[in-house]
Structure 1
Amino acid sequence: MNALSTATLIIDAAFLAAAFLFIYGLKRMSSPVTAASGIRVAGLGMLVAVLASFLYVFGVSEAAKPHLTVNVILGAVALVLGLGWAWTSGKKVEMTAMPQMVALYNGMGGGAAAAIGAVELFRTSAEHSTIPLVVTIIGSLIGAISLSGSLIAWAKLDGRVNGTWRFTGLQLMNGTVFFATLALGLYIALVAHGHAPVWMTAAFFVLALIFGVLMTMPIGGADMPVVISLYNAFTGLAVGFEGFVLQNPALMIAGMVVGSAGTLLTLLMAKAMNRSVSNVIFSNFGAAGDEQQGEIKGSMKPVDAGDAGINMRYASKVIIAPGYGLAVAQAQHKLFEFVKLIQEQGVEVKFAIHPVAGRMPGHMNVLLAEAGVPYDIIYDMEDINSEFKDADVAIVIGANDTVNPAARTNKSSPIYGMPILNVDQAKQVYVVKRGQGKGYSGVENELFFADNTNMVYGDAQKVMVQMIQAVKSLDGGGH
């Protein structure tokens, strides 16, 4: 067996192993208990695929090897730079900024797929067949849109871009840009057969990037997690298409896995907000400034953090509903310290997680796991909603729209029909909140005005410290 045959055999075996590791890793990511190991397994699969790609040097002619050597060196440099940047940034990123990092990495995946398509389309000396050309155009279009759209999503989540673009004729303008881009791409593939002028191919990519920006800018910050998930599916689809063009099974399988997972996650998040994906992309979310939302009876009743903590100390069952405010305050460690204190007094404590709590699905689970909260006291919404009516106390920390009873009762509310945590059914509710602001939707929360609700104002971490001190003081500084 010659060197070429041996290299081909090793590459094919490596790609098969990488595909298995991708799928197995994704399977393990479906549970919080095995998610960390799943990420490592999938990462190992990516490493195997990347290293195997360097063996292609054995499959070229002697005349082409000098050019390939340059590419191998560039590839190695890119690999070192990418690993170094990812390692350092991954170590530094705060848990609250994890969705932004996901958006950035996702955009890079889309950009990589678009770059592969660009290389194929700019190789005007090559002979292209129709189907691979069409697939290349589609993959390039989706990848470029995912790149620029993900960058805008990152900028919005990171607070670098504020506000939205909404004006009459916006959707018509966006549609015009999209169909112009698609028409240009189809001309390159079906009429020019891949030998279009350089300016035309460049214009295709520029328009695709512009459309990604135009598509994302009108979407509000509350919908950014859904948009990121959607772009994740786009990236997977683009990678799969480009894998077909390159006849690379690892890219095809990885693209299909990422595309299908991203699609399912997008649908799950949209369902959790009782909205369709098209509604997220093409409609405004939330209440306008002049919208009449109806009069809310009652008043907000503040209470001291220490009193709330002591009340929970003497409760039989406490359910905690965390939200993004918990992550912002980095209060998860103090929260778990408080939980352990009252558990030692025989209080049953459970955590209730809404599917879109935080910024992304699983965000709260990871945050609580970081603090050491056991998995067996963390429950998804559908598994714990029926227990709120039996809880002596429910405490909401940094959540808003996901606990608003208006979603069940007020048909005129923008969030009507959205599944929520049944916090209002507990005997006593405490809401830990910095102030009296509204949630992402801009809708006033009826829970805050309920007879059984008291507001604990302040930074979540400081509030938890006060609760801990109040409970410890009952035993003279002990437990």
Structure 2
Amino acid sequence: MQVAFIIDSSYFIAAFLFIYGLKQMSSPRSARAGIVLAGVGMVIAVLASFLYSLDVRPEAKPMLQTNMLLALVALSLGLGWAWWSGKKVAMTAMPQMVALYNGMGGGAAAAIAAIELSGYQTHGSISLLLAVLGGLIGAVSLSGSLIAWAKLDGRINKTLRMTGLQLINGSLLLVLGGVAIYIVWQGGQVSQWLFLAFFAMALLYGVMMTMPIGGADMPVVISLYNAFTGLAVGFEGYVLNNPALMIAGMVVGSAGTMLTLLMAKAMNRSVRNVLFSNFGAAADDGEQNISGSQKPIEASDAAINMRYAGKVIIAPGYGLAVAQAQHKLFEFVELLQAAGVEVKFAIHPVAGRMPGHMNVLLAEAGVPYDLIFDMEEINSEFKEADVAIVIGANDTVNPSARTNKSSPIYGMPVLNVDQARQVYVIKRGQGKGYSGVENELFFADNCQLIYGDAQKVLAAMLQAVKNLESS
């Protein structure tokens, strides 16, 4: 009784820390503390699970000792790999790591389901149904997340497009549903080969569902699979009668669902459109008729103009993360502030590779939170800005999203950088964004481009202002 009380109490504390930690993550100021609290909750939940060894029948002790040894080995391997990879990973690769870790969570849920189903003893039809659904969703999340990771990491550079692909995927899903119903109908007493076929088809479906989706939509896909993983974990928690798993799964599932919907809304698209459209693949922009030309400018000239501006708004994008130029950027911002220039940062909801990517990047460089504004808070201020500077962003600042109904990004809310008196764009070359369309902003009369790596460009701008101040 005492052991059971300690386990249940530990799970309650862990659940509270999960929920409170997630609440803390809603603000950049408290996000770090929230992550730590949720991590502490996970440690408590893991340690509590080992207490089951104190409350088993004597005849089960040998098997339990073997399982405990395997669990300790798995924990050691997981902790070692996570510690090493977490220290090594660059900020630009963080979305890939999130996708990878999310896939591992789905895989763990699928593994639990596979073990439960292979030795299933009747616990009721609801438990069996949730075990099957958890296994299906977890397997789809595993393979789908791995494809998302490979796409974000540049290991898969092509999308799978073929006639009738949606019909094939729909048929595969129907077969999976039929097999799931059959397993439940038979009370779980079916051939082991059917279980293997079921999980193999689920893994295949995750691949087939993700391969056609373009890179621009990968952040939404990762968020969706995060919700899937949470749902699978919650189902398996019910099957195992484990409150910590149930609560953690529900929290992750609901948070992932909300994030997916918010991201889709930020792109003015539905989740269905994300999953079944061609956005993110190369678009046919042959009908685009953009007047004007791209006008280059030297970094030093742009920097001096910014030094004498009254208000500057910065719109960062993935190019800033690739160049790891956030520290140089903030150093430049501090120089401008010292000269009396008002500087603000404008963050698009899907800037970078996932929500919050730019916020974390700027926080890492020490940028104060009160300088960072979400799109809806600052979009109306661009018309008052003397200068807007875009660093490595493309689709999120393309004004054609407001006017060109034939554009694949039409309707997507964008930062109103084109409304500033002068716009400077730092970009490595003349390439297009993830959507594959040309950016009208780059040809506008009030826009000039500074070509080059953001790290080197900002270093040159920084030096130009320093030279001006010292002369």
Shorter-chain TM-score range? over 0.9
The residue aligned with 1:464 is 458
Shift of 1:292: 3.6
**Secondary structure in 2 matching 1:372:** coil
The residue aligned with 2:32 is 36
The residue aligned with 1:145 is 140
The residue aligned with 2:42 is 46
1:353 corresponds, among 339, 342, 347, to 347
Read off the aligned partner of 1:354 and give its amino acid letter. Answer: H
Matching of residue 251 in structure 1 with residue 245 in structure 2: yes
Read off the aligned partner of 2:70 and give its amino acid letter. Answer: L
The residue aligned with 1:437 is 431
**Secondary structure in 2 matching 1:429:** strand
The residue aligned with 1:170 is 165
> Equivalents in 1 of 2:178, 2:285: separation in Å?
41
Is the 8 Å Cα contact of residues 287 and 414 (structure 1) preserved in structure 2? no
**Secondary structure in 2 matching 1:49:** helix
The residue aligned with 1:133 is 128
The residue aligned with 1:9 is 5
Read off the aligned partner of 2:135 and give its amino acid letter. Answer: S
Structure 2 unpaired stretches of 5+: none
Shift of 1:291: 4.3
Is the 8 Å Cα contact of residues 442 and 448 (structure 2) preserved in structure 1? yes
Is the 8 Å Cα contact of residues 388 and 422 (structure 2) preserved in structure 1? yes
1:271 corresponds, among 254, 265, 273, to 265
Is the 8 Å Cα contact of residues 284 and 436 (structure 2) preserved in structure 1? no
The residue aligned with 1:199 is 193
Structure 1 unpaired stretches of 5+: none
**Secondary structure in 1 matching 2:59:** coil
Is the 8 Å Cα contact of residues 286 and 415 (structure 1) preserved in structure 2? no
Shift of 1:475: 2.6
Q: What RMSD, in angstroms, separates the aligned Cα atoms of the two structures?
A: 1.0
Aligned-pair identity (%): 73
The residue aligned with 2:254 is 260
> Equivalents in 1 of 2:407, 2:146: separation in Å?
31
Provide Cα deviations, 1:272-328, integer angstroms capped at 9, x if missing partner: 111100000011115755444431111111001000000000001000000000000
**Secondary structure in 1 matching 2:378:** helix
Shift of 1:129: 2.2
The residue aligned with 2:101 is 105
> Equivalents in 1 of 2:405, 2:155: separation in Å?
35
**Secondary structure in 2 matching 1:359:** coil
**Secondary structure in 2 matching 1:176:** helix
1:308 corresponds, among 302, 312, 328, to 302
**Secondary structure in 2 matching 1:474:** helix
The residue aligned with 2:394 is 400
Runs of 4+ deviating beyond 3 Å: 286-293
Per the normalisation by structure 2, the TM-score is: 0.99
Shift of 1:88: 1.1
Read off the aligned partner of 2:171 and give its amino acid letter. Answer: T
1:238 corresponds, among 232, 236, 240, to 232
Q: Give matches, 1:367-378, under 5 Å.
A: 367-378=361-372
Is the 8 Å Cα contact of residues 19 and 254 (structure 1) preserved in structure 2? yes
Matching of residue 223 in structure 1 with residue 212 in structure 2: no
The residue aligned with 1:83 is 79
**Secondary structure in 1 matching 2:470:** coil
Matching of residue 285 in structure 1 with residue 275 in structure 2: no
2:445 corresponds, among 433, 443, 451, to 451
Q: 1:274 to 1:374 in 2, by over 3 A?
A: same
Shift of 1:128: 4.1
> Equivalents in 1 of 2:333, 2:128: separation in Å?
59
Is the 8 Å Cα contact of residues 293 and 443 (structure 1) preserved in structure 2? no
Shift of 1:409: 1.3
1:56 corresponds, among 42, 47, 52, to 52
Shift of 1:178: 1.3
Shift of 1:39: 0.3
**Secondary structure in 2 matching 1:297:** coil
Read off the aligned partner of 2:191 and give its amino acid letter. Answer: P
1:116 corresponds, among 105, 112, 115, to 112
Provide Cα deviations, 1:424-479, integer angstroms capped at 9, x if missing partner: 010000000111111000111010111110011111010001101111111337xx
**Secondary structure in 1 matching 2:273:** helix
> Equivalents in 1 of 2:403, 2:205: separation in Å?
39
> Equivalents in 2 of 1:51, 1:294: separation in Å?
60
> Equivalents in 2 of 1:221, 1:366: separation in Å?
21
> Equivalents in 1 of 2:189, 2:123: separation in Å?
9
**Secondary structure in 2 matching 1:174:** helix
> Equivalents in 2 of 1:71, 1:240: separation in Å?
23
Is the 8 Å Cα contact of residues 293 and 413 (structure 1) preserved in structure 2? no
Read off the aligned partner of 1:35 and give its amino acid letter. Answer: A
> Equivalents in 2 of 1:176, 1:271: separation in Å?
29
Per the normalisation by structure 1, the TM-score is: 0.97
Is the 8 Å Cα contact of residues 213 and 280 (structure 2) preserved in structure 1? no
